[in-house]
Structure 1
Amino acid sequence: MATIVDVAKLAGVSTATVSRVINETGNVRTATKKKVLAAVKELNFSPNHSAQVLQTKQTKTIGMIFPDASSIYFYEIIRGIISHVNKHGFQIIIGSAHDEEEELKTAFRFLNGRSVDGLVVMAPSLTNGELFTLPINHNTPIVFISVPPIKAGTTSVVLDNFNSAYEMTEHLIRLGHKRIAFIHGSPNNYDSKRRYAGYLKSLKDNGISGSIEAEGNFTEDSGYKACQQLIKSKENPTAIFAANDAMAIGAIESAKDQKLKVPEDIAIVGFDDISTSQYITPALTTIRVPLYKMGQLVCKTLLHKIRSNPAEHLNAAERIVIPLDLVIRESCGAKIK
């Protein structure tokens, strides 16, 4: 089995240089780095993980906490994180938590055991500020997804929900709709709240008084039931804006079952552009969220924090906003006007 000495000898450098290349510490010239990596590959050298941890004080491991790691939405983000992690020699541990108490327990387990160098936490329904104290209290970089930064030292990657929902509502208004209903996502969900705020602002700016609303929880079934409620209501909406695609898909099926044509009788739009949105009938008009790229950005941000001086990130809250795109398909009616 090859050792670091064998790699150094083949590459014609010192063992210290090999160590710097493998652990990505210090400055090494590009040409030298290429020689070392070529020697590593030729000798099939695999660094001793325990020795690396002792030497660099890093586990080369990132922890991830998601509400439901099996959902398509979160899976795409995780896929983006993994693709970037693999390029930089890190591995991942995934924990799933369905409420804030579970998220805290999972985070403490990762941090107290010193098993990770950094954490990614998806907490769109966060109300307990204790999670935001973790980066400083444990001196460990953490990147939050879909939460507003509250405390100094936190970094949050968020979607441009407000402006995108505003744009979607404007689109429906340009198509002639004035009675536009909104189906909410889960209570306390940050993304849903910002999308609702954008919807309200567009109505106000266009002189449309009074919103039409129904409750949902981001599932197709809740969208189906919300659409039933809206169609039977006295407000009689001509368009429905669901806070995510799953609810919009449920709403389309509900409208069909109530003998309404989409979009001729009622327009229905969503948010996220999940993979099935383009294949349903009619194809769904929505806001495209680049989930895979979002995961890559989250990972890139976390690795930067891991490799930099922690003191640089303690004084300010960092907020990274991802712009989104309107995707016009058949369900809004624009294609037939």
Structure 2
Amino acid sequence: MAVTIKDIAKLANVSITTVSRVINNKTEGVSEETRNRILQLVKELGYQPNAIARGLVTKKTKTVGLIIPDISNPFFPDIARGVEDSAHIYGYNVFLCNTDDNLEKESEYINALKEKYVDGIIFTSSSIPKHEHITDLIKSGIPVVIMDRRIDSEDIYGVFLDNYEGGYIATKYLIDLGHKRIGCITGPLYISNAIERLEGYKRALVDNEIEVDNRLIFEGDYKINSGIIGAEKLLEHEVTAIFASNDLMAYGAYKAIRSYGYKIPDDISVVGFDDIQLSQILEPQLTTIRQPAYDMGLTAARMLIKLIEGKKMNKKIANFRPQLIIRQSTKDIV
């Protein structure tokens, strides 16, 4: 049976309150002899304080929640690694919750994290166009940091990429290679980052006097299969290049392009978005837009911990810039 704080108090011949004060480093009014006796018993008996019970007293559990929409997408584990590494430095543990892009599951995780008295939550919200549960959580006073997918609220603290610029530079690069019939496979168009990447694509076309053709735009869902279907639709309209709004859909485009007997990049150029590690292993290696997922995770955790600890924040939003990574999946046709 696990040793309890009552056992320690009985053996040390002191009150439970005294043991609690020593364990929580609040030793004012406790003699050095008593303190040492209690700590020796804690060591000898292998006593482990109950984190939740301690949290009820200290109002801090040194835990945070991280809610992500799709653990199978390698972009999100990179975020999680950054969050965990940063949290560890500051003495916090991380509860990881994967929602599978399911709003009901996301809401259940919020309730579970609240029941565990986490000190704060980092969200990369699900692909669902409703965020009332998140705004309600923010209003309840629990520190929250939003990542990757913006929501409409003036109260949020967040870490984001300039997705508009990313969509623009991906498309502009293909235009500079001589492409005019450039297809775009978007993410779900009720998610802010998908909309922003599409707007960047359109602006690059307009700035270079290329008409926006809605037949060359296919709404995907950030998963491989929608990249396959989207590329098949776009190939029917004789595109010479495809901008996929994430790398997973670019992988799907690869499969479709090859199934039609075309070669990459000789016949069709492809640009992705995210720069997950598999994009360097793919053959040919994928030209893509890099967003620094690990660094964004580090920043989100630092921001959340500052909120938890009541430290001054210079700004509510941290913005990252995208970077074009040129590899082997694009070709000059000028």
Query: Is the pair's TM-score, using the shorter chain for normalization, greater than 0.5?
Result: yes
The TM-score with structure 2 as length reference comes to 0.79
Instruction: State the AA in 2 paired with 1:67.
Output: P
- 1:37: which partner in 2? none
Structure 2 contact 186–198 (Cα < 8 Å) conserved: yes
- Cα 1:272/1:61, change in 2 over 3 Å: same
The 5 Å alignment of 1:242-253 reads: 242-253=244-255
User: In the alignment, what sits opposite 1:99?
Assistant: 102
Deviation, structure 1 residue 192? 1.5
Q: For 2:109, give the aligned amino acid.
A: T
Gaps of 5+ in 1: 4-14, 21-42
Q: Distance in 2 between matches of 1:322 and 1:275?
A: 19
Q: Counterpart of 1:269 in 2: which secondary structure?
A: strand
Residue 222 of structure 2 is aligned with which of 218, 224, 236? 218
**Cα shift readout 1:1-41 (whole Å, capped 9, x = no counterpart):** 9x9xxxxxxxxxxx99x938xxxxxxxxxxxxxxxxxxxxx
User: Contact between 1:180 and 1:241, CA under 8 Å: does it hold in 2?
Assistant: yes
Corresponding residue for residue 35 of structure 2: none
Paired residues in the alignment total 296
- 1:126: how far off? 4.3
CA distance in 1, matches of 2:183, 2:86: 39
Distance 1:240 1:305 in 2: 41
Q: Do the aligned partners of residues 285 and 53 (structure 1) sit closer, same or farther apart at CA in structure 2, a change above 3 Å counting? A: same
CA distance in 2, matches of 1:319, 1:135: 18
Alignment correspondent of 1:269: 271
Distance 2:55 2:118 in 1: 11
Deviations 1:67-117 (A, max 9, x none): 123432211111111111111111121222232232223213322x25200
1:142 pairs with one of 135, 141, 144: 144
* SS of residue in 2 equivalent to 1:19: coil
Normalization by structure 1: what TM-score? Answer: 0.79
Per-residue CA deviations over 1:49-68 (Å, capped at 9, x if unaligned) read 54742553101110121212
Instruction: Give the 5 Å matches for 1:40-51.
Output: 48-50=49-51
- Equivalent position of 1:328 in the other structure: 326
2:47 & 2:299 partners in 1: Cα distance?
28
Q: SS at the partner of 2:25?
A: helix
Deviation (angstroms), 1:124: 5.3
Matches within 5 A, 1:1-150: 19=25, 48-50=49-51, 52-97=54-99, 98-111=101-114, 113=115, 115-123=117-125, 125-150=127-152
| Aligned match of 1:10 | none
Native 8 Å contact 2:68 2:126 kept in 1: no
State the alpha-carbon separation in 1 of the partners of residues 78 and 157 from structure 2.
21
Name structure 2 gaps, 5 residues minimum.
Answer: 9-20, 27-42
Matched-pair contact (CA < 8 Å) for 1:124–1:190: no
Give the aligned partner of residue 34 of structure 2.
none
Residue 231 (structure 1) aligns with: 235
Contact kept in structure 2, 1:245 and 1:274, CA below 8 Å: yes
| Contact 1:164/1:195 (<8 A) preserved | yes
Residue 242 of structure 2: SS of its match in structure 1?
Answer: strand
Q: Residue type matched to 1:217 in 2?
A: D
Percent identity of equivalent pairs: 33
Task: Report the Cα distance in structure 1 between the residues aligned to 2:199 and 2:73, rounded to whole angstroms.
Answer: 26
The whole-number CA distance in structure 2 between the counterparts of 1:136 and 1:222 is 33
- Is contact 1:124–1:145 with CA below 8 Å preserved after alignment? no
Q: Shift of residue 156 of structure 1?
A: 2.1
Pairing partner for 2:195 from 193, 196, 212: 193
2:305 is equivalent to residue 299 of structure 1: no
Equivalent residue number for residue 158 of structure 1: 160
CA contact (8 A) 1:124 1:146 kept: no
Instruction: State the secondary structure of the residue aligned to 1:271.
Output: strand
- Counterpart AA for 2:25: S
Q: Aligned partners of 1:287 and 1:105: how far apart in 2?
A: 34
- Cα deviation, 1:200-257, whole Å, max 9, x if unaligned, reads 1111111111232123222222212221221122xx1111101111111221222122
Q: Work out which of the residue numbers 313, 316, 319 in structure 1 matches 2:317.
A: 319
Q: Distance in 2 between matches of 1:127 and 1:283?
A: 34
Paired with 1:229 and 1:67, the residues of 2 have a C-alpha distance of: 27
